Structure 1
Amino acid sequence: MNINEKIRKQLFDREFQFQASRSSGPGGQNVNKVNSKVTLIFNVPNSMILEEDEKSRLMEKIGNKLDSEGNIQILAQEKRSQIQNKEIAIRKFYDLLSKAFHKKKIRKVTKPSKGAIEQRLKEKKALSEKKKGRRGEW
């Protein structure tokens, strides 16, 4: 099974760890009482779902988002509900994974067509003539 199928089937859910804490986000006076901020923690080196080459590629791509133990930590505190923040954190995780494993399309070097070259030269000539017309004698 390739990585895109693993992401689409959301197989990583069972390897998540969650921590809840007090949020600085919306909630009014309730902010000081309820733990609505959610931190999703995913340990890359200990993942049973990722293969070794996928782990190394992921660590290379998102190395700046990993802590010293190789954990990815994703925070969510946009909503007042812990459940909604948990869903947001999971969505952010899968977006991060899909971006990390997305292959860039290789650009093929092309040459402008004869018609395009002629069109560009014709436009340059017209602009040159227009500017030459502005240089009238006073």
Structure 2
Amino acid sequence: MATPDLWDEEGRLFVNARVRIPAQELVVRATKSGGPGGQHVNTSSTRVEVQWNLRQSTALDDDQRQRLEARLATKLDARGGLRVVASDTRSQTQNRALALGRLAALVRNGLTVPKARRATKPSRGQREQRLDEKKRRSGVKRERRWRTDD
């Protein structure tokens, strides 16, 4: 289940072409999964939690750090830590890969620069077409009205 493109050749978590998080900056912890279950299910530590402090990271430049802090503000703790949890499967290895993948995707999405919107205005033909349609529609409604014979 672990994706081969999760890590680069130097042992850093691959986020995008410009950002790779060093493994020593990641804190990976396995804990017991909660919820209902029978024997063995709540006694093994299969839930994986990955923490990364983006304020202290060497993987980001100042612009990237500011963008991430703004875009991920609701997901950060007071010290700038980002926490991702995975308890989808019963395998700790698979949950570790899922959590690391989610962290990389979260950072990748947070770093994307939104496309600037350019204001446009309708062409002359579009304006005329809209007004013609309004006239036609009002004519249809006018014809539906009840008239007295004079």
Q: TM-score with structure 1 length normalisation?
A: 0.81
2:49 maps to what in 1? 39
Q: Is 2:81 aligned against 1:76?
A: no
Percent of aligned positions that are identical: 33
Distance 1:35 1:131, change over 3 A: same
Structure number with the higher helix fraction is: 1
Pick aligned residue for 1:113 from 88, 104, 123? 123
User: Matched residue pairs, number?
Assistant: 132
State the alpha-carbon separation in 2 of the partners of residues 133 and 24 from structure 1: 69
Q: Is 2:134 aligned against 1:124?
A: yes
Between stretches 119-128 and 57-66, larger displacement belongs to 57-66
Pick aligned residue for 2:15 from 7, 11, 18? 7
State the alpha-carbon separation in 2 of the partners of residues 111 and 53 from structure 1: 33
Check the 8 A contact 2:15/2:105 in 1, yes or no.
no
Check the 8 A contact 2:46/2:92 in 1, yes or no.
yes
Letter in 2 for 1:89: A
2:60 maps to what in 1? 50
State the alpha-carbon separation in 2 of the partners of residues 22 and 126 from structure 1: 69
State the alpha-carbon separation in 2 of the partners of residues 63 and 99 from structure 1: 13
State the alpha-carbon separation in 2 of the partners of residues 132 and 93 from structure 1: 61
How far did residue 13 of structure 1 move? 5.1
For structure 2, list consecutive stretches of 5 or more residues without a partner in the other structure. Answer: 1-13
Q: TM-score with structure 2 length normalisation?
A: 0.75
State the alpha-carbon separation in 1 of the partners of residues 116 and 62 from structure 2: 25
